[in-house]
């Protein structure tokens, strides 16, 4: 369609036209996102491949000292005068070998960790699946012999894997260093002394020093648990399996089951995914639009006491969210809740409305949580948008008025595009935040919507609150982990897709 | 200088995280021989470890008493230098808290029988070393429930974890309190509410139980039910549902604390409710002379008056299996559940003893609510061998009965089947 035709369309036709185009382009856009992900992984693998290639060429080109460094780390450095560095490499190697052999005296670390990780699925190789009481021969007292803790075994196995990965990095660095010093000698340069290396860490390599600690802590406290939790999804760890085993993709099969014993889990997953997306769209869009409208109203010329109105709205932010939500939940209570009582006294309703607990009409509770969320969320939007709104050049509005545009027209053609451009990243984060909006749903509904039509869930449960129920109430840990992975995939796809489509990503210079 | 500061900050950040994670070391292991299960060494003396440090969890209401009893215990074993710390931990969540981290949890803790299966599944309970003695002094029911494969796994503490009908005598006459229809009619006449926590599986299981459903233990992690007559259960559920709908403005499904709140309001907004002994002291204080307690009423199912069947449980004191001082913990648990301690508990917080002799104490026999609960006990299902999956689907079934207007037999039957399927969770 040519531009001239497009301009002549009415707003609905325009919307339909854009919507149609977006839908047609959607598959290719999704494809693009996956291609980008593919490129990312390709880069990583190519990098690793190059590293290995370098590893072998260095070995071929290296002299005897360098070659020996491939077995005895740091040998090349020591021979050529970098004693301090060489000793550190050597010590690392010795420590690693000791760790792998002895496992620091802990069952499950080191080699046994790798062994357990691979084999604890069949439970036949000498694990204690049950705890028991033994009698100490010396004192004659009873002693508790705990069962093997497969959580611990899995955790230690993962820890061992991470340590091996770290060692490989250091090992490759050692071979590199040995080759480099060989080349330096060949070129007649004087190799850096240990002191110089250390001072380099405080000078031109200061970034390495600074980042070392955070990287270490992130690996221990973020990446390791993440790998651990992902692995849980592939086990049968639940209420009835304290000693759990690998089951592969069985849990994911349960999530997508439509028939058989797991049909209810599959149905619950589909039902809750649908509701989660509906909720996320409504919670995001309504809060955004309504918050902006309120902010616009406050900003309007001729409104007195602007600061007061703004403050009044923002004061609600000062009350902790969980307090206002629990209060709201009390007010909406079926038995003598304030809202029901007021409506009854005013004669608007005869019977009290079960806002949050009506199982036969779950949409009542769903609408209620969306409305309450608007009330909770609008102040934040006002806060964020007022500043940007005041920045829109007033002359744009003036010229629009002169051209005969009404308030709606100005909003749609000036305010909205401007705001969308600036706030799209914010919208995406809000959308993702709403997919995982635990507080509003959990504090408002609790278990009021629990239904036997769904597997350990209620109609207002989001995937994340279902996950919470599964872990804290019914102990289906593997199912919860699998759902967590699914939620991550949904969130990642949606945010990558939308962000890549936004103007802010495509054209960063516009509107500046 | 700036670099130095940045570096120090980075190190501090990591150090603070690492310090928080320091763990304790475990001592070496001695040589051990296995004892086959059930083969308890005869007449074991509880030889308390020297310098034992014990952590005790007690319910909020009983915490002062527990502290006092612990002091008595220390005085009785003054030569052993025992240290005891008492912390407040509700019995309803004791298992949850303990299973989070058994190593950091209490050595001796009080819990209700609904958590027994969870604790057993996680192997978190130490068997009772002085079993013979404990079995001899406690009521048979309380011992049976906590016995697994011939081994007693916890010390019985109370025997009153059930519920009964609590009513305001100025609203409901003793005669009316005999039938559910009578209670509801009386409440309707006075314009006050009748409260059952129908969304809570602990209470709502009385609906199917009245229809003949019973629990038959757990087999291979699956809850078993007795061979029940489904039509009879459905008919009973329908009778309940019909009553709740007929008196929809009188019947209120709310937490049991609502009953006491209603008694305290002037004028009273609640006329009667099904409540447990934990609220009874407060109910008595609110109602005074009008306080009435009776066994659960009957309900008319197709012309026949059926006694409502309740769930009856016990409270136990358990010893953490991973306690560092198992013998001291066993001795303390034994002391906290002996006859004298149980009588003191009955006097202080009106918890009925599981000890047969302590039950004859006037503090128990003169308590109207406890008498009502004991009367109800003969019409009850013992809270034993209940899977953890039991409660939520039961609660949802209860909610369905009073909420859903489509309460024909076919839909109720479908709901019952769904609930049972979810409880079994095969």
CB contact under 8 A, B404 and A136: no
Length of chain A, in residues? 512
Tell whether B202 is covered by a domain: yes
Query: Cα dist. B362→B64, B166, B280, B314, B367 in Å?
Result: 22, 21, 17, 20, 8
Tokens of B146: 């906590």
Phi, psi of B123 (to 5 degrees): 55, 40
Contacts of A386 (CB under 8 A, 6+ apart): A295, A298, A299, A310
Confidence of residue B1 (pLDDT cuts 50, 70, 90): low
Residues B303 and B186 in one domain: yes
Residues A24 and A70 in one domain: no
Chain A interface mutation, best of B42, B123, B256, B395, highest count of A Cβ atoms under 10 Å: B123
CA-based nearest residue in chain A for residue B97: A472
| Chain A environment of B388 (Cβ under 8 Å) | 239, 474-475
Per-residue pLDDT of chain A (512 residues; tens, 9 = 90+): 777 887 777 777 877 887 788 788 878 877 877 888 888 889 999 988 888 888 888 888 888 888 888 888 888 888 888 888 899 999 999 999 999 888 777 777 877 777 777 655 555 456 777 788 888 888 888 888 887 778 888 888 888 888 898 899 899 888 888 888 888 888 888 878 888 888 888 888 888 888 988 988 888 889 889 999 999 999 888 877 778 888 889 899 999 988 887 888 999 999 999 999 999 999 999 999 999 989 988 888 788 888 898 888 888 888 888 898 999 999 998 877 899 999 999 988 888 888 888 888 889 999 999 999 998 889 989 888 888 888 888 888 889 989 988 888 888 888 888 888 888 888 888 999 999 999 899 999 887 778 888 888 889 999 999 999 898 887 889 999 999 999 998 888 888 777 777 655 565 555 44
- At residue A138, the 3 state secondary structure works out as coil
Q: pTM for the complete prediction?
A: 0.81
**Rounded Cα gap, residues A17 and A13, in angstroms:** 6
**Rounded Cα gap, residues A250 and B97, in angstroms:** 30
B91 pLDDT more than 90 = no
User: How many beta carbons lie within 10 A of that of residue A485, not counting itself?
Assistant: 18
Residues B213 and B302 in one domain: yes
Residues B187 and B232 in one domain: yes
Q: What angle do CA B73, B79, B85 make, to 5 degrees?
A: 45
Residues A84 and A165 in one domain: yes
Chain B interface mutation, best of A107, A133, A156, highest count of B Cβ atoms under 10 Å: A133
Write down the number of H helices and E strands in chain B. 18, 18
Residues A481, A230 contacting (CB under 8 angstroms): yes
**Rounded Cα gap, residues A151 and A44, in angstroms:** 31
Q: How far is B220 from chain A (nearest CA, A)?
A: 9
From B326, B344, B365, the end of a domain falls on: B365
Q: How far is B103 from chain A (nearest CA, A)?
A: 11
**Rounded Cα gap, residues B49 and B328, in angstroms:** 6
Residues B268 and B396 in one domain: yes
B23 pLDDT more than 50 = no
Query: For residues A42 and B149, which has the higher predicted lDDT (pLDDT)?
Result: A42
Q: Looking at residue A221, what DSSP letter applies?
A: I
Residues B394 and B271 in one domain: yes
| Chain B environment of A134 (Cβ under 8 Å) | 32-35
From B329, B350, B365, the end of a domain falls on: B365
Q: How far is A242 from chain B (nearest CA, A)?
A: 7
B312-347 pLDDT tens trace: 989 999 999 999 999 999 999 999 999 989 988 888
Query: Cα dist. B60→A378, B90, B93, B278 in Å?
Result: 41, 6, 12, 11
From B345, B365, B385, the end of a domain falls on: B365
Please choose, from the candidates B173, B308, B162, the residue with its C-alpha nearest in 3D space to the C-alpha of residue B239.
B308
**Count of CA atoms in the C-beta half-sphere (13 A) of A281:** 6
Residues A280 and A195 in one domain: no
Helical (H) or strand (E) element with B110: strand B108-112
**Count of CA atoms in the C-beta half-sphere (13 A) of A422:** 16
- At residue A222, the 3 state secondary structure works out as helix
CB contact under 8 A, B123 and A146: yes
Q: How far is A354 from chain B (nearest CA, A)?
A: 9
| Chain A environment of B32 (Cβ under 8 Å) | 134-137, 143, 145
Tokens of B205: 């299981």
Tell whether A467 is covered by a domain: yes
Asked if the peptide bond before residue B340 counts as cis, ω within 30 degrees of 0, the response is: no
Residues B179 and B272 in one domain: yes
Report the pLDDT value the prediction gives residue B108, as an integer from 0 to 100: 94
**Structural domains in chain A (count):** 3
- CB nearest B3 (choices: A202, A335, A452): A202
Residues A212 and A306 in one domain: no
What is the per-residue DSSP string for A334-368? TTT-HHHHHHHHTTS-SSPP-TTT-SS-HHHHHHH
Residues B194, B247 contacting (CB under 8 angstroms): yes
Contacts of A55 (CB under 8 A, 6+ apart): A172, A175
Chain pair A-B, CB pairs under 8 angstroms: 127
**Rounded Cα gap, residues A466 and A458, in angstroms:** 8
CB contact under 8 A, B415 and A456: no
User: How many beta carbons lie within 10 A of that of residue A452, not counting itself?
Assistant: 26
Contacts of B226 (CB under 8 A, 6+ apart): B213, B214, B215, B216
Query: Cα dist. A411→A390, A408, B14 in Å?
Result: 14, 5, 50
Whichever domain contains A497, its CATH number is 1.10.3720.10
Length of chain B, in residues? 426
Which domain covers residue A162, as residue numbers?
Answer: 62-232
Q: What angle do CA A361, A362, A365 make, to 5 degrees?
A: 115
Chain A interface mutation, best of B328, B396, B401, B420, highest count of A Cβ atoms under 10 Å: B396
Residues A417, A323 contacting (CB under 8 angstroms): no
CB contact under 8 A, A142 and B35: yes
- CB nearest B221 (choices: A133, A240, A336): A240
**Structural domains in chain B (count):** 2
Q: What angle do CA A396, A400, A406 make, to 5 degrees?
A: 130
Tell whether B297 is covered by a domain: yes
Residues A46 and A82 in one domain: no
Tokens of A177: 């260093």
Whichever domain contains B72, its CATH number is 3.40.190.10
Tell whether B31 is covered by a domain: no
Tell whether B254 is covered by a domain: yes
Tell whether A241 is covered by a domain: no
Tell whether B191 is covered by a domain: yes
**Rounded Cα gap, residues A181 and A191, in angstroms:** 7
Please choose, from the candidates B97, B154, B37, B143, the residue with its C-alpha nearest in 3D space to the C-alpha of residue A131.
B37
Residues A23 and A72 in one domain: no
Kindly provide the residue ranges of all beta strands, DSSP E only, lying in B237-341, ordered along the sequence. Answer: 251-253, 270-275, 291-294, 298-301, 304-307, 310-319
CA-based nearest residue in chain B for residue A450: B396
B284 pLDDT more than 70 = yes
Which domain covers residue B190, as residue numbers?
Answer: 164-312+372-424
Question: Pairing mode, if any, of strands B304-307 and B147-148?
Answer: unpaired
Instruction: Please list the residues that pair with A282 across neighbouring strands.
Output: none
Looking at mean pLDDT, say which of A292-301, A424-433, B241-250, B274-283 comes out highest.
B241-250
Residues B259 and B380 in one domain: yes
Query: Cα dist. A488→A225, A430, A482, A494, B409 in Å?
Result: 15, 15, 10, 10, 43
**Rounded Cα gap, residues A249 and A234, in angstroms:** 6
CB contact under 8 A, A358 and B403: yes
Contacts of A36 (CB under 8 A, 6+ apart): A496, A500
Phi, psi of A125 (to 5 degrees): -110, 50
Tokens of A421: 């451009």
Tokens of A443: 């504090």
Residues A289 and A180 in one domain: no
Residues B250 and B183 in one domain: yes
């Amino acid at each position: 369609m040519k531009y001239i035709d497009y301009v002549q369309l009415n707003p609905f036709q325009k919307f339909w036209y854009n919507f149609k185009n977006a839908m047609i382009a959607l598959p290719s856009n999704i494809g693009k996102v996956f291609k980008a992900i593919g490129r990312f992984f390709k880069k990583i693998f190519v990098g690793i491949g190059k590293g290995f290639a370098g590893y072998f060429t260095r070995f071929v080109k290296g002299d005897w000292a360098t070659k020996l460094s491939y077995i005895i780390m740091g040998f090349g450095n020591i021979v050529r005068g970098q004693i301090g560095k060489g000793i550190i490499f050597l010590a690392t190697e010795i420590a690693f070998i000791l760790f792998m052999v002895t496992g620091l005296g802990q069952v499950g670390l080191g080699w046994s960790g790798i062994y357990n990780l691979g084999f604890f699925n069949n439970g036949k190789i000498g694990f204690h699946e049950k705890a028991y009481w033994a009698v100490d021969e010396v004192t004659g007292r009873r002693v508790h012999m705990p069962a093997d803790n497969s959580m611990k075994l899995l955790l230690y196995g993962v820890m061992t894997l991470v340590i091996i990965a770290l060692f490989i990095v250091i090992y490759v660095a050692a071979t590199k260093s040995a080759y480099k010093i060989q080349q330096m000698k060949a070129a007649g340069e004087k190799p850096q002394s240990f002191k110089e290396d250390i001072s380099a860490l405080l000078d031109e390599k200061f970034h390495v020093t600074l980042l070392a600690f955070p990287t270490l802590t992130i690996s221990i406290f973020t990446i390791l648990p993440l790998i651990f939790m992902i692995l849980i999804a592939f086990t049968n760890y639940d209420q009835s399996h304290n000693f759990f085993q690998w089951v592969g993709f069985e849990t994911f099969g349960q999530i997508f089951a439509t028939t058989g014993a797991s049909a209810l889990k599959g149905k619950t997953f589909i039902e809750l995914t649908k509701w989660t997306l509906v909720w996320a769209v409504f919670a995001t869009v309504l809060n955004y639009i309504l918050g902006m409208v309120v902010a616009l109203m406050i900003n309007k010329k001729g409104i007195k006491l602007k600061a007061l109105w703004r403050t009044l709205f923002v004061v609600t932010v000062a009350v902790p969210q969980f307090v206002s939500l629990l209060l709201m939940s009390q007010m909406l209570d079926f038995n003598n809740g304030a809202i029901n009582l007021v409506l009854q006294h005013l004669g608007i309703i005869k019977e009290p409305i079960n806002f949050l607990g009506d199982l036969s009409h779950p949409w009542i509770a769903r609408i209620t949580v969306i409305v309450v969320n608007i009330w909770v969320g609008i102040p934040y939007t006002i806060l964020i948008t007022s500043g940007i709104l005041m920045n829109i050049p007033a002359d744009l509005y003036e010229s629009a008025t002169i051209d005969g545009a009404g308030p709606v027209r100005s909003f749609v053609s000036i305010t909205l595009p401007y705001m969308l451009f600036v706030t799209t990243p914010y919208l995406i984060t809000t959308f993702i935040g709403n997919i995982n909006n635990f507080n509003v749903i959990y504090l408002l509904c609790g278990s009021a919507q629990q239904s036997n039509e769904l597997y350990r869930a209620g109609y207002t449960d989001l995937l994340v609150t279902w996950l919470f129920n599964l872990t804290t109430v019914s102990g289906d840990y593997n199912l919860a982990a699998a759902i967590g992975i699914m939620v991550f995939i949904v969130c990642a796809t949606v945010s990558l897709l939308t962000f890549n489509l936004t103007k802010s990503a495509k054209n960063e210079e516009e509107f500046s | 200088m700036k670099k130095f500061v940045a570096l120090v900050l980075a190190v501090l950040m990591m150090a603070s995280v690492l310090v928080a994670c320091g763990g304790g070391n475990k001592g070496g292991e001695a040589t051990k021989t296995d004892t086959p299960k059930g083969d308890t060494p005869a007449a074991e003396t509880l030889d308390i470890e020297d310098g034992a440090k014990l952590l005790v969890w007690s319910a909020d209401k009983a915490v002062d008493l527990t502290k006092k009893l612990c002091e008595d215990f220390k005085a009785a074993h003054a030569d052993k230098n025992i240290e005891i710390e008492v912390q407040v931990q509700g019995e309803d969540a004791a298992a949850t808290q303990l299973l989070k981290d058994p190593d950091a949890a209490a050595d001796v803790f009080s819990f209700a029988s609904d958590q027994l299966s969870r604790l057993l599944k996680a192997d978190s309970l130490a068997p009772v070393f002085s079993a013979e003695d404990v079995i001899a002094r406690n009521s048979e029911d309380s011992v049976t429930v906590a016995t697994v494969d011939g081994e007693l796994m916890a010390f019985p503490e109370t025997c009153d974890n059930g519920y009964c009908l609590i009513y305001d005598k100025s609203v409901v006459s003793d005669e009316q309190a005999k039938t559910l229809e009578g209670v509801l009619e009386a409440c309707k006449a006075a314009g006050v509410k009748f409260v059952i926590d129908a969304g809570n599986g602990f209470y709502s299981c009385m609906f199917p139980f009245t229809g003949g459903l019973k629990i038959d233990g757990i087999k291979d992690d699956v809850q078993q039910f007795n061979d029940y007559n489904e039509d009879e259960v459905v008919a009973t559920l329908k009778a309940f549902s019909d009553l709740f709908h007929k008196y929809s403005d009188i019947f209120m499904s709310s937490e049991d604390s609502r009953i006491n709140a209603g008694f305290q309001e002037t004028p009273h907004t609640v006329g009667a409710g099904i409540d447990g002994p934990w609220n009874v002291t407060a109910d008595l204080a609110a109602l005074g002379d009008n306080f009435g307690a009776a066994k659960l009423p009957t309900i008319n199912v197709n012309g026949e008056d059926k006694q409502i069947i309740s769930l009856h449980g016990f409270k136990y004191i358990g010893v953490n299996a991973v306690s560092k001082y198992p013998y001291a913990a066993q001795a303390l648990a034994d002391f906290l559940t002996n006859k004298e301690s149980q009588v003191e508990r009955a006097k202080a917080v009106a918890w009925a003893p599981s000890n047969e002799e302590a039950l004859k104490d006037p503090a128990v026999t003169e308590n109207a609510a406890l008498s009502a609960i004991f009367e109800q006990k003969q019409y009850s299902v013992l809270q034993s061998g209940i899977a953890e999956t039991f409660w939520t689907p039961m609660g949802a079934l209860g909610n369905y009965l009073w909420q859903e207007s489509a309460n024909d037999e076919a839909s109720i039957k479908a709901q019952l089947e769904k609930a049972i399927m979810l409880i079994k969770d095969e």
